[in-house]
Amino acid sequence: MGYRQEIVKGLGTQEWGGHGSVGRRSWVASIFHSCFGTHRLLPIAHSLKRSEHGFTIVELMIVVTIAGILIMLAEPSFTGATTKAREAALKQNLFTMRDVIDQFKADRGKYPAALLELKEVGYLKRIPMDPFTRSDATWQEILDEKDGGVFDIHSGSDLVALDGTPYNLW
C-alpha cells in the first residue's frame, strides 16, 4: 500500500484494493482525493511520517525563543522582588541594632564604644549582616559628640534604594 493509499485509508476508507483497483471510499476520502491530487499527498505523507520520530529543529528553536522571551519578561520582576526583600532585611537589621543601642544606653548610661561591644556583653548574639554589602563589618557607626559612643548606625552600601535615597542615609 502506497503513501496515497495510507492517507486516504486513514481518512475513512472502508476498503482499498491493491494498486490499480477502485475499491470503496468514504465521502471524506473522496473529497480529500478530489481536492488534493496524488502529487500533493506525498509531501503530507512524508511530514506525517517524519513527525512521528521527534521534533524538528524549527520547532525546537521556536520553543527556545518563547522560553527566552518569558525569562526576559520575568527577570525585572524577580530583580525588583529581590531588592525589596533586601531593603526589608536592611530596615529590620537597622531597627534591631538601633533598639539594642538604646537598651545599652538605658542600662549603662552611655553608648557602646563600638558595635562589637554589643556582641561581647550579650546584647547581640552576632552583628547582623548588611544585605547590600553582604558583610557584618561595613556598618557605618555614628558617634555621639559628647559621649563618644555609637549612638546610631547606617548601612555601608553606596547603592541607591528603590525610592531614590542612598542606603547609607537610612
Residue 45: the pLDDT is 52
Long-range CB contacts (within 8 A, 24+) of 93-102: 93/128, 93/129, 93/130, 93/131, 94/153, 94/154, 94/155, 94/170, 96/128, 97/124, 97/127, 97/128, 97/139, 97/153, 98/152, 98/153, 100/124, 101/150, 101/151, 101/152, 101/153
Q: Which three cell numbers stand for residue 36?
A: 488534493
Q: By C-alpha distance, which of 33, 34, 31, 27 is closest to 12?
A: 27
Q: What is the pLDDT along the chain (170 residues), one digit of tens a residue?
A: 555 555 545 554 444 444 444 455 565 556 656 655 555 555 555 555 555 678 899 999 999 999 999 999 988 878 888 899 999 999 999 999 999 999 999 999 999 999 999 999 999 999 999 999 999 999 999 999 888 899 999 999 999 998 999 999 98
Residues 157 and 170: their CA atoms lie apart, in Å, by 10
Q: What is the pLDDT of residue 30?
A: 62
Q: What pLDDT is stored for residue 113 in this prediction? A: 94
